[in-house]
Structure 1
Amino acid sequence: MSARLSVRKTGGGTPAVVRLLVIATFVVILNETIMINAIPRLMHDLQVTERAAQWVSTAFMLTMAAVIPVTGWFLQRVTTRRAYALAMGVFLAGTALSAVAPSFAVLLIGRIIQAGGTAVMMPLLMTTLMTVVPERDRGRVMGTVTLAISVAPAMGPVISGLVLQVASWRWLFVLVLPIAGAVTWFGLRRLENVGEPETGTIDWISVVFAALGFGSLVYGLSRFEAGSAAVPALITVAGIALIVLFVARQLWLQRHGTPLLDLRILRSGTYTKGLVLMAVAFLAMLGSMMLLPLYLQNLRELSPLETGLLVMPGGLAMGLLGPLVGRVYDRFGGRILVIPGSIGITAALAGFTQIAIATPYWQLLALHILLMVSLAAAFTPVFTLALGALPEDLYSHGSSMLGTLQQVAAALGTALVVTVMATRSSALVAAGTDAVTAQLDGMRLAFAVSAALSLVVVVTAVLLPNRSTAPEVPAESGEPETALVEA
């Protein structure tokens, strides 16, 4: 099926093409969360509500969720260099527009354009890695990739806190422009094509179903608040219905055409379990990353810089552990990492449910480090196990599905915690509770919801195998299935 993926796997160090894509992916994914600390500033400068301001992050993730399903089809039909040039060019255009945005609406458009370019980079990186790196080295290389796909979102609030201490929110984009431009120029000089592109037409009906379905789902959830829930519920149900239609369309195209997202990947039990674990873990992570700055700045009255410095050690720990986690996976397998990591995620989120106005900062720091380290222990093995269970011709579709669910989960997590917090706080204020106590109680409840959801991560981690030794689905739909056993 895929001439594009018939590439010789190389051993030894990390291939140059992967190193280049890791750097570029880090730069673009960093912007996914770089605006979190800027929300209070945006509320003041652009005269918008907290619920509206959080859309600079939610819209970014939502756009990625709508675009990434197309990348499985797209990456099989263009060269590596063309995909890279298009992704980085779109990202640069969105960054420039955001930097000069005269209003919140224009800023939102710029963020959506940024996200359109970012959406291509992660599947491009993951697909290329799985293609050129042999199975015995994937844990080590995937540990390096963790810097881009996990640490970049974690470091976004840190960098934005430092910048916002001395400059306006516009500099979050102004400073990124020359860095992204240099990465683009250097990458186009050194990047080599991996494989050959295929031919095929795109199914625009699937594109519409995916964009409207995921968009309606997240938008509907974000509109739930104290009072009438009829309209948000209707929008959410409409989104779910459109996603069902998208899935039905892909199943039909697998028999009568070329699917936008090949759902044969879900026939792999290991891949599906990894998908569930990653989605719920990302939901919990992004939800907590939305709540902490609000707690630290609105209730503890810390500056953006102080907020960034408090969460920086956790982000650094996550990044530094990535390569070590990869080496441990290569030697011992995934269970020794994923099970303790999943338990650590739940423990950290449960700890955050006990926050108070006077909670010592060292306790907040310890909980955040525990959360980031636990996520690092889980993400590298899960990505490697999940994609390793697929045949090569489905790598791009597997990467696209992982990216799509990751962004939907992140957007849902952000919308969920803000909605839970706002609903609880509004109810308490209406009952006569003072505003500070009401908001704190709302945050505790939002953390409790995240902790409860993270129990799914623990259960799924126990069910994952130690290694994926061979593809669990046939490389071509017309081939007979064979039973393949994992270690």
Structure 2
Amino acid sequence: MEGTVNASHTHPLDEGPKYKPLPILISLLISGFIGMFSETALNIAISDLLVVLQITPATAQWLTTGFLLTLGILVPISGLILQWFTTRQLFVASLAFSILGTLTAALAGSFEVLMVARVLQAIGTGLMIPLMFNTILIIFPPEKRGAAMGVIGLVMMFAPAIGPTLAGLLIEHLSWHWIFWISLPCLVFGLVFGILFMKNVSVITKPPIDVYSIILSTIGFGGLVFGFSKAGEEHTDWGSSIVVFSLVIGAAALFLFVLRQLSMKKPMMNLSVFKYPMFVVGLVMILLCMMIILSTMLILPLYLQNGRGLTPLEAGLVLLPGGVLNGLMSPIMGSLFDKYGPKWLVIPGLIIAAVVLWFFSGVTTASSLALLIVLHSSLFIGISMIMMPAQTNGLNQLPSELYPDGTAVMNTLQQVAGAVGTAVAVSILSNGMTDYMRTSVNPLDPLEAIKAFTFGAQHSFLFGMAIAIIGLMTAFFIRRVRVDKQAMQQL
């Protein structure tokens, strides 16, 4: 019998719902879907942007680095923002930034304008992600959160699934601008729908604003995300002065930020969330999963295009079944979580992920596309069994007044984990290619370059497998959180 942990807090809706959750959920999902679609679709367009905007790959990387950096700066203070502004105010602000950024990107004729657009989009996303999770925790009681999170997973994972394929079609027949032109009316519709149906569900407490905490948070998390992102760029290694400087300054500022939060009566980010063991276990699982997802989503398309010679559209079609299947599995996993708890989903999910990544480490230039589709689909089935149950179970243990802090901590560290995962995966890929070419009999042969890339990708997949094994060892500590609405029990 699976062990349980009782959480003694009372849910805000225990007195009876004062609003309909479904329209609120739909408002959030429309906006979140388009944000995720724009992000993944633009990744496929990078090769086209190199030619059209006459930029180098290192410059183009800033379209991703700048987006992550903005999130790394904004998300840590989201807990504070959620307690200062109403749900409707934050929703409208998020959509306004997203619409402005999307319109700017659609009209962009230079890299500089597109870069500004990406920052505006990141601000919109940085406001929407914490708002979405915090609102779900408030409007749904604990016994229904798994299903609600599953619906979010269905919509949010469907966007990156169709993003590369649809982007490939748009680029082939129109231009990369249409990635944003088709997103724009959807965002406007989401804004109108939200204005009509979004309700204020959170409690506004307006805690004091500590400027020093904001500065330390910005330098700390921003420095770490920037440093790891730079380490993942072409022609930049871990020993680069800018990488070392960014990581050292970021780590030092983050250390001072933690000390300041612990010494404040009303901290900007309440670190007491780390006193809840299942939140910590769930957080670790989420961070490891993000490293697996983002490193695989980076390496696999590169392998398909550089190791197998596929076009962006063909690569997108190979990745499509796995992404769609992951989305379809999310509601199922949500219902199973509500019924059985996290352990019997998370542990098998990590075993599946580890085994699939081991098979991926054996791919060659001759591996069949059918095998790659099956492996990719199986990996994301495993991921769907891990992400939502671990996240929901961890957040369930927090008292309602810590929901903004819990979602802020989780979403902030996900940005850092994503930057770490991609940077390490790219470093392993580059080192593997270098090692192969060093022992090659004919390094000038183009076929050898393809084999070298495949060799590096194999080692990157082994890195993902190692992360999955660490997650599996952590999963044995997870226990189901049952929210006790009656008795107040000490954890």
**Residue 42 (structure 1) shift:** 2.3
| 1:103 lines up with 2:110 in the alignment | yes
Equivalent AA in structure 1 for residue 83 of structure 2? Q
Shift of the 347–108 alpha-carbon distance from structure 1 to 2, 3 Å rule, reads farther
Structure 1: tracts of 5 or more residues without a match: 472-480
Contact 1:287 1:414 in 2 (8 A): yes
Equivalent AA in structure 1 for residue 279 of structure 2? Y
**Residue 205 (structure 1) shift:** 2.3
SS in 2 for 1:359: coil
Contact 2:45 2:167 in 1 (8 A): yes
Measured against aligned partners, the alpha-carbon deviations of 1:261-295 in whole angstroms (never above 9, x if no partner) come to: 11111110000111111011011101111112212
Contact 1:32 1:60 in 2 (8 A): no
Structure 2 counterpart of 1:478: none
Greater mean alpha carbon deviation, residues 237-246 or residues 194-203: 194-203
**2:453 pairs with 393, 414, 439, which one?**
439
The sequence identity of aligned pairs, in percent, is 33
Distance 1:341 1:185 in 2: 39
Contact 1:143 1:325 in 2 (8 A): yes
**2:148 pairs with 107, 127, 141, which one?**
141
Equivalent AA in structure 1 for residue 101 of structure 2? G
Measured against aligned partners, the alpha-carbon deviations of 1:60-103 in whole angstroms (never above 9, x if no partner) come to: 23321221111111111211110100011011111122222233
Distance 2:489 2:238 in 1: 53
**Residue 430 (structure 1) shift:** 5.5
**Residue 329 (structure 1) shift:** 1.1
| 1:30 lines up with 2:37 in the alignment | yes
**Residue 151 (structure 1) shift:** 4.1
Contact 2:72 2:221 in 1 (8 A): yes
| 1:459 lines up with 2:491 in the alignment | no
Shift of the 429–219 alpha-carbon distance from structure 1 to 2, 3 Å rule, reads farther
| 1:483 lines up with 2:483 in the alignment | no
Contact 1:95 1:177 in 2 (8 A): yes
Structure 2 counterpart of 1:422: 430
Greater mean alpha carbon deviation, residues 43-52 or residues 289-298: 43-52
SS in 2 for 1:464: coil
Measured against aligned partners, the alpha-carbon deviations of 1:413-447 in whole angstroms (never above 9, x if no partner) come to: 22222233234324544665332222222222222
Measured against aligned partners, the alpha-carbon deviations of 1:185-223 in whole angstroms (never above 9, x if no partner) come to: 111122111144222342232222222222322332344
| 1:321 lines up with 2:338 in the alignment | no
Contact 1:339 1:458 in 2 (8 A): yes
Equivalent AA in structure 2 for residue 336 of structure 1? W
Measured against aligned partners, the alpha-carbon deviations of 1:232-261 in whole angstroms (never above 9, x if no partner) come to: 2233222222221222222122x2xx3221
Measured against aligned partners, the alpha-carbon deviations of 1:364-417 in whole angstroms (never above 9, x if no partner) come to: 101110111111111121121011000000111111111112222222222222
Shift of the 167–422 alpha-carbon distance from structure 1 to 2, 3 Å rule, reads farther
| 1:167 lines up with 2:152 in the alignment | no
Distance 1:413 1:31 in 2: 21
Measured against aligned partners, the alpha-carbon deviations of 1:343-372 in whole angstroms (never above 9, x if no partner) come to: 112222222211211110011101110111
Greater mean alpha carbon deviation, residues 111-120 or residues 220-229: 220-229
Equivalent AA in structure 2 for residue 327 of structure 1? S
Greater mean alpha carbon deviation, residues 145-154 or residues 345-354: 145-154
Structure 2 counterpart of 1:348: 356
Which of structure 1's runs of 4+ aligned residues deviate more than 6 A? none
Shift of the 298–187 alpha-carbon distance from structure 1 to 2, 3 Å rule, reads same
Shift of the 358–23 alpha-carbon distance from structure 1 to 2, 3 Å rule, reads same
SS in 2 for 1:467: strand
Greater mean alpha carbon deviation, residues 397-406 or residues 8-17: 8-17
Contact 1:122 1:149 in 2 (8 A): no
**Residue 19 (structure 1) shift:** 2.6
Q: How many residues align?
A: 472
**Residue 461 (structure 1) shift:** 1.6
Structure 2 counterpart of 1:213: 220
Distance 2:417 2:152 in 1: 20
Contact 1:422 1:442 in 2 (8 A): yes
Equivalent AA in structure 2 for residue 64 of structure 1? L
1:5-16 correspondence runs (5 A): 8=15, 10=17, 15-16=22-23
Distance 2:210 2:13 in 1: 25
Distance 1:411 1:240 in 2: 15
Structure 1 counterpart of 2:256: 245
Structure 2 counterpart of 1:411: 419
**Residue 452 (structure 1) shift:** 1.3
Contact 1:65 1:403 in 2 (8 A): no
Distance 1:123 1:195 in 2: 12
**Residue 159 (structure 1) shift:** 3.1
Distance 1:186 1:437 in 2: 51
Contact 1:8 1:132 in 2 (8 A): no
SS in 2 for 1:315: helix
Structure 1 counterpart of 2:124: 117
Shift of the 32–130 alpha-carbon distance from structure 1 to 2, 3 Å rule, reads same
Distance 2:455 2:395 in 1: 40
What is the TM-score of this pair, normalised by structure 2? 0.89
Distance 1:149 1:397 in 2: 22
Structure 1 counterpart of 2:367: 359
Distance 2:361 2:155 in 1: 29
Structure 2: tracts of 5 or more residues without a match: 1-8
Contact 1:344 1:371 in 2 (8 A): yes
| 1:229 lines up with 2:239 in the alignment | yes
| 1:269 lines up with 2:280 in the alignment | no
Contact 1:146 1:379 in 2 (8 A): no
SS in 1 for 2:128: helix
Greater mean alpha carbon deviation, residues 87-96 or residues 33-42: 33-42
**1:189 pairs with 177, 193, 196, which one?**
196
Shift of the 269–426 alpha-carbon distance from structure 1 to 2, 3 Å rule, reads same
SS in 1 for 2:481: coil
Contact 1:161 1:307 in 2 (8 A): no
Contact 2:30 2:186 in 1 (8 A): no
**Residue 230 (structure 1) shift:** 4.7
| 1:282 lines up with 2:290 in the alignment | yes
1:63-74 correspondence runs (5 A): 63-74=70-81
